[in-house]
Each structure stands twice: as C-alpha cells, then as structure tokens.
C-alpha cells in the first residue's frame, strides 16, 4: 500500500543514485595514495561556484587539456590544503609544542587520471536502484525524471557514443546541467526541472506538477537542501546503500521494487 499522498513525479540524480558513484573512485584514489579521506571532495567543493569542474558541468568550457590543467590547479591548491587540514583534520598531536599547527606536505593529485576513473566507475548501473527505476517506469503511475550534473565528452571519445541500454530513454524528462548551463545546487535548475516536468505531465493530460508533487533522490546533502527549499520532497541515497533507498521508495509508492537479479550493467 502506498503512503498517503504519494508523489506524482520521481526525480533521480544519476551519479551515485542510478549509476555507481564517482565518489567511490575518489575514495579509492585517496586510499591507494594515502591521501586524507575527504580532501579531494573538499577541494572540488571549495572551488565552487566558478572552479574548473563547476564550469565544465555548466557546459561553459570544453573537456580538453585546458580543463585538465585547471582541474589540476584546483586539486593542488596549497592554501586550500591548509584550510582543509585546519578544519577537517586538526588533532592535538598535529600541534607543535609552540602551539602551531604542523601541516603535512600537499598531496599531489593526478587530476586527469582521477577524472577518467570517476567517469569509468559511473558507467555501471546501481544493482538496486536501476531495477527499481525500471519498475517505476513500467508501472506508468509516475513521471520519471532525471536532474544530473553532467559533462559533455569530446565527439571522438568512446563515452560520447550512445549508451546501451540507453539510460536516457528511461526518463520522461532529463535535465542535464552541461546542456542547460545550470548545475546543482543552483536554485534555478530545480525551478527549471519543475517547469519541465509540469509541461510534460500536462501534455499527457495528467494535470500539473508542483514542487510538493516531486520526490527527489540525490547522494549529496547540499543538493537535497536546495531541493527542499524549492518545495520538493527528498530522499538521500547514501554511498553503497541503494537497497535502503529502494525500501523507502517501496513504502512511498506501494510497489514492489526489489527488481530482478540484474546485477551491474555496463553502459
């Protein structure tokens, strides 16, 4: 049985929800290279709103060597490293006897290798949430949409070719940051998503869509915070815990979303 007042639309993030999280690639890289966990995400997030990665996800710059040079600079910023160590990894034993903080050397990050590893990892569907998405779509009871921070691959790159199975065809509405010039958590991209879902649903003769009619799944708390401010309901998908999110979806929708034993599909 569905919960009272179920959503009309279910809005999915892609990376970390429908497909494997690029954060896993970052965590694995940090572990393998003895980099304090969280440094790379801290560096990327602190470069917002106009860091190289953010510009790429808004489609403002090309995915080329100029991007990789800028991304390397963002990930190898000495001042940001001191800020990270002070705020996130300050311990009593980090102090010298005179009370000054002893900051270790700045870790060197191979930005280009890391970027492509993040992209490679996120080509694999989530074994729990992807089958659930397919069942939601097949039920024909909900508008199924996506709101994702994306990048545009060079035309000659293998990742620019159509995905099989074609992930994008699973959605009634797909908002791609690099194509619309906005990225999460900019409030304007949530407003755009609501407008596009409303337009699509009205076109199907199924009434309008408002923020409160939408359940949004994402793996980043900051993205969910702005979604709630736009009126959406939210569900956080924790890293490696997609099955728990599926159970919540089952309670909300009243559907059995366990999915077949599809495993991980390469896209």
Count of Cβ atoms closer than 10 Å to residue 123 Cβ: 16
Q: Which residue, chain included where needed, has tokens 């490679």?
A: 120
Q: What is the pLDDT along the chain (267 residues), one digit of tens a residue?
A: 667 789 999 999 999 999 999 999 999 999 999 999 999 999 999 999 999 999 999 999 999 999 999 999 999 999 999 999 988 666 545 555 555 668 899 999 999 999 999 999 999 999 999 999 999 999 999 999 999 999 999 999 999 876 666 888 999 999 999 999 999 999 999 999 999 999 999 999 999 999 999 999 999 999 999 999 999 999 999 999 999 999 999 999 999 998 444 445 444
Output the pLDDT for position 99. 58
- Using CA atoms, how far apart are residues 100 and 90, in angstroms rounded to an integer? 11
Q: What is the pTM of this model?
A: 0.91
Output the pLDDT for position 102. 81
Q: What is the DSSP string of 5-43?
A: S--SEEEE-TBTTTB--HHHHHHHHHHHTTPPTTHHHHH
**Burial class, 89, CB count within 10 angstroms (exposed 0-12 / middle 13-18 / buried 19+):** middle
Q: What ranges make up the beta strands (E) of the chain?
A: 9-12, 143-148, 173-176, 214-218, 233-236
Output the pLDDT for position 94. 52
């Amino acid at each position: 049985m569905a919960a009272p007042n179920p959503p009309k639309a279910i809005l999915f993030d892609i990376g970390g929800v429908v497909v494997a999280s690029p954060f896993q690639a970052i965590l694995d890289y940090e572990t393998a290279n003895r980099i304090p966990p969280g440094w790379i995400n801290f560096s990327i997030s602190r470069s917002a709103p106009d860091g190289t990665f953010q510009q790429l996800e808004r489609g403002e710059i090309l995915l080329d060597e100029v991007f990789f040079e800028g991304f390397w600079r963002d990930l190898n910023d000495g001042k940001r490293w001191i800020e990270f160590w002070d705020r996130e990894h300050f311990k009593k034993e980090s102090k010298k006897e005179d009370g000054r903080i002893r900051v270790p050397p700045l870790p060197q990050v191979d930005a280009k290798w890391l970027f492509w590893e993040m992209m490679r990892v996120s080509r694999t569907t989530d074994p729990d949430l992807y089958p659930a998405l397919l069942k939601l779509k097949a039920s024909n009871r909900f508008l199924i949409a996506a709101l994702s921070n994306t990048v545009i691959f060079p035309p000659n790159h293998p990742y620019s070719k159509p995905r099989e199975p074609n992930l994008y065809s699973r959605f009634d509405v797909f908002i791609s940051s690099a194509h619309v010039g906005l990225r999460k958590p900019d409030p304007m991209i949530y407003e755009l998503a609501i407008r596009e879902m409303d337009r699509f649903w009205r076109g199907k003769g199924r009434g309008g869509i408002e923020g409160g009619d939408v359940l949004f799944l994402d793996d980043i708390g900051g993205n969910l915070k702005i979604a709630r401010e736009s009126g959406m309901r939210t569900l956080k998908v924790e890293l490696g815990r997609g099955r728990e999110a599926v159970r919540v979806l089952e309670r909300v929708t009243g559907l059995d979303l366990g999915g077949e034993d599809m495993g991980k599909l390469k896209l």
